[in-house]
A = this chain, B = another copy of it.
Amino acid sequence: MQSTRSTFENLRKDFPILQRTVRDNKRLVYLDNASTTQKPNQVIDSISDYYRNYNSNIHRAVYALAEEATEAYEKTRDKIATFINVKDRQEIIFVRGTTEAINLVAYAWGRSHIKEGDIIVTTEYEHHSNIVPWQLLTKEKGAKLEYIGMDDDGQLILDDLDKYLATGKVKLVTFSLMSNVLGTITDADKIIKKCKAAGVLTLIDAAQAVPHMKVDLEKLECDFFAFSGHKMLGPTGIGVLWVRKSVLETMNPFHGGGDMIREVHKYEATWNDLPYKFEAGTPNIADVVGFGAAIDYLTKIGMDNVREHEVELTKYAIEKLSEVKGIHIYGTKDISKRGGVISFNFADVHPHDVAQIVDGEGIAVRSGHHCAQVLMERLNVAATSRVSFYIYNTKEDIDALVNSLNKVAKVFKL
């Protein structure tokens, strides 16, 4: 591997969108990577190439195109298995994204395993997609949803977990490996160890983790694991649900339809092998192929290098932002415990107004509740501004952000 610094400087040219300008010829500074990332030519072209050369439905047909399409589709499954270190490709299910993955678990596992009085435990810093499905499920079943609290440093209070586990009623503990608001990296090993000791299953929302650091499922030992392609250079519309085989075998089908069946008779049907039992209907073939190209791209860079690059940016950003009078940063300042996501507030200026003014300078920053209203309530704020980094961001991007914040200060007379 060549020098890391030059790798990251060079790769910007792979991203055509970074060459464009916005708002009266301003350089685009894209800092909303926790929401979705930009795509390199390698990914964009792999999708066009699929449609131009071997588009076909998969699995069932015998003709040449179908053979090529099926091979490319299934090859991505293998790439994913390698990327997150999974031995058994049958455990990998393609879904639209993390949201569908978690809902699939809530329906296909939850509805047959959760009963009245059971407890599902989540955390105060979850994304809505790891809260609402469990609200729906627990309401339907007369079960309870409980929360692991968060301290003021943005760390989970694991005593809460111990308390719930002690009831003997917990059936599932579900948490994000990295908060999409605070960037906190959850101590998954500790949580999973406690859960395993109590015979409780664990689900990891890895939407923010897989794109930004090396993840090894052999070591993690969770039972469900979900992430989205579009947050890691891949196309929109594709994501992954991984489920441990022994758990997957206890799950009912989710969607009924083509490809997930073995035999259909008028009044009953039998199911296809794993993972196809959970992939009903024509899948998002082109984007699975594109996702494969994204994984190739990240593999070539190396996930440890990705993490290192982001640590450097995050350190720099926290330093620079802290110098701006009136900026309050949420979460821990211990870089080893956080990813490249920084939420802040700027004096009494509403984050929307911050976002709008910096947008005028070409800087794309997110404002709002970030689909984490429970966390907003916990932080006692209506909203925050958020910047989040990826491989193509530079220190210049952060300097531009800080400059634009000075403009906010001027407008709002801070």
Contact = CB atoms under 8 A, between A and B. Distances in A.
Given A236-B284, A286-B236, A267 B145 contact: yes
A129 B258 CA distance: 6
A352 to B, nearest CB: 6
B17 A287 contact: no
Chain A interface helix/strand/loop/mixed: mixed
Interface stretch (A153-161, A358-366, A405-413): A358-366
A212 interface: no
A54 interface: yes
Contacts of A98: 281
A97 B281 contact: yes
Nearest to A262: B373
A348 to B, nearest CB: 19
A226 to B, nearest CB: 11
Given A66-B364, A371-B258, A284 B56 contact: no
Contacts of A267: 135, 145
A284 B63 contact: no
Contacts of A128: 256-258, 261, 264, 269
A62 B352 CA distance: 8
B264 A131 contact: yes
B132 A257 contact: yes
A20 B53 CA distance: 7
Interface string A25-53: 00010101001101100011101100111
Contacts of A4: none
Interface string A90-105: 0000001111101100
A283 interface: yes
A55 B17 contact: yes
Contact of A61 (B35, B39, B134): B35
A220 interface: no
Contact of A237 (B16, B102, B286): B286
A236 B17 contact: no
Interface of A: 16-17, 20, 22-23, 28, 30, 32, 35-36, 38-39, 43-45, 47-48, 51-57, 60-66, 96-100, 102-103, 106-107, 127-129, 131-136, 145, 147, 228, 230, 235-238, 253-261, 263-269, 280-287, 352, 355-356, 359, 362-368, 371, 373-374, 377
Given A20-B53, A47-B48, 13 more contacts: A51-B235, A96-B237, A97-B282, A98-B281, A100-B255, A103-B257, A129-B257, A129-B258, A133-B256, A135-B268, A237-B284, A237-B287, A263-B373
10 contacts: A30-B65, A32-B56, A39-B51, A63-B363, A99-B280, A103-B254, A132-B257, A265-B377, A284-B284, A287-B287
